């Protein structure tokens, strides 16, 4: 049932992303918590949402541009993180390092789906060109209702791509990640640090995507402040 729910969320996000409404609900910062909510773990969805939003901040549908499919990647990563974490807790493996460790492995497994989704978008564009020609033929024949239905056909393929690929990616995470971590639980701290490194990379990616004159200075300034706070906290903790 969880995979069916994930597929529905991913399919609807794929449609909202480009074909209907376009209220930015398919952006990672919104889709992550929504996917987590649908799967019963809002906190897990929110945990991965912010770094994914920064990573794919420049992936915006403008005109004929075909960016990476950030909605597909986000749904798969969030679903895989939530479901794999749940499976591991059921097996008795828990702790503060669990969620970041699972999240970084989910990114490793499912992030390529965003690239695959971009290829699928090219297929959708060709499909829509054919549908456009069909709608014109229907209108020329006086079949206005049939021409209107063609618009729904145009939404079916993006929905189907998200509905199939996001649960498939999450299922791979659930099959692989718990097996790896149960066999090597000692890797949890290192993998948790890997999530921190990924978050830092996502911040740099977001700063680059902004293309603002002061974005670099703000990014490195914030990074320096963050490092100072981290060191101050670590030293204070070591003193006690």
Q: What is the pLDDT of residue 22?
A: 78
Q: Identify whether the C-beta of residue 74 lies closer than 8 Å to the C-beta of residue 108.
A: no
Question: Which residues, at least 6 apart from 1, have a Cβ–Cβ distance to it below 8 Å?
Answer: none
Q: What is the pLDDT of residue 154?
A: 77
Q: What is the pLDDT of residue 62?
A: 62
Q: Which two tokens stand for residue 167?
A: 């649960």
How far apart are the C-alpha atoms of 238 and 240, rounded to whole Å? 5
User: Which of 93-107, 141-155, 224-238 is the most confident on average?
Assistant: 93-107
Nearest residue to 110 (alpha-carbon basis) of 185, 37, 67, 167: 167
pLDDT over 50 at 113, yes or no: yes
pLDDT > 70: what percent of the chain?
A: 90
Question: Which residues, at least 6 apart from 42, have a Cβ–Cβ distance to it below 8 Å?
Answer: 33, 36
Q: Tell me the pLDDT tens digit for each residue of 26-58.
A: 999 999 999 999 999 999 999 999 999 998 887
Q: Tell me the pLDDT tens digit for each residue of 181-230.
A: 999 988 899 898 889 888 888 887 877 777 666 666 766 776 677 778 76
Pairs from 218-221 (Cβ < 8 Å, separation ≥ 24): none
Q: Which two tokens stand for residue 27?
A: 């952006």
User: What is the pTM (predicted TM-score) of this model?
Assistant: 0.84
Q: What is the pLDDT of residue 33?
A: 96
Q: Identify whether the C-beta of residue 84 lies closer than 8 Å to the C-beta of residue 173.
A: yes
How far apart are the C-alpha atoms of 219 and 239, rounded to whole Å? 30
Q: Tell me the pLDDT tens digit for each residue of 67-99.
A: 889 999 999 999 999 999 999 999 998 888 899
- Output 173 or 151, whichever has higher pLDDT: 173
Q: Which two tokens stand for residue 117?
A: 């989704």
């Amino acid at each position: 049932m969880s995979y069916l729910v994930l597929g529905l969320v991913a399919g609807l996000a794929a449609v909202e992303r480009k074909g209907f409404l376009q209220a930015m609900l398919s952006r990672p910062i919104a889709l992550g918590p929504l996917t987590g909510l649908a799967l019963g773990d809002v906190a897990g969805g929110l945990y991965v949402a912010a770094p994914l939003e920064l990573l794919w901040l420049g992936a915006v549908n403008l005109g004929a541009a075909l960016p990476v499919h950030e909605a597909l990647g986000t749904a798969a990563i969030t679903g895989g993180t939530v479901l794999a974490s749940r499976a591991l807790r059921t097996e008795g493996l828990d702790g503060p390092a669990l969620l970041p460790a699972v999240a970084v492995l989910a990114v490793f497994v499912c992030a390529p789906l965003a690239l695959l989704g971009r290829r699928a978008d090219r297929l959708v564009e060709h499909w829509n060109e054919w549908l456009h020609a069909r709608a014109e033929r229907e209108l020329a024949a006086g079949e206005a209702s049939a021409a209107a239905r063609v618009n729904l056909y145009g939404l079916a393929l993006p929905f189907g791509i998200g509905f199939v690929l996001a649960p498939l990616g999450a299922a791979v995470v659930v099959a692989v990640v718990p097996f790896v971590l149960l066999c090597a639980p000692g890797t949890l701290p290192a993998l948790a640090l890997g999530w921190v490194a990924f978050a830092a990379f996502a911040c740099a990616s977001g700063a680059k995507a902004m293309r603002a004159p002061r974005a670099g200075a703000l990014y490195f300034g914030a990074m320096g402040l963050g490092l100072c706070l981290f060191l101050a906290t670590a030293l204070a903790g070591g003193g006690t």
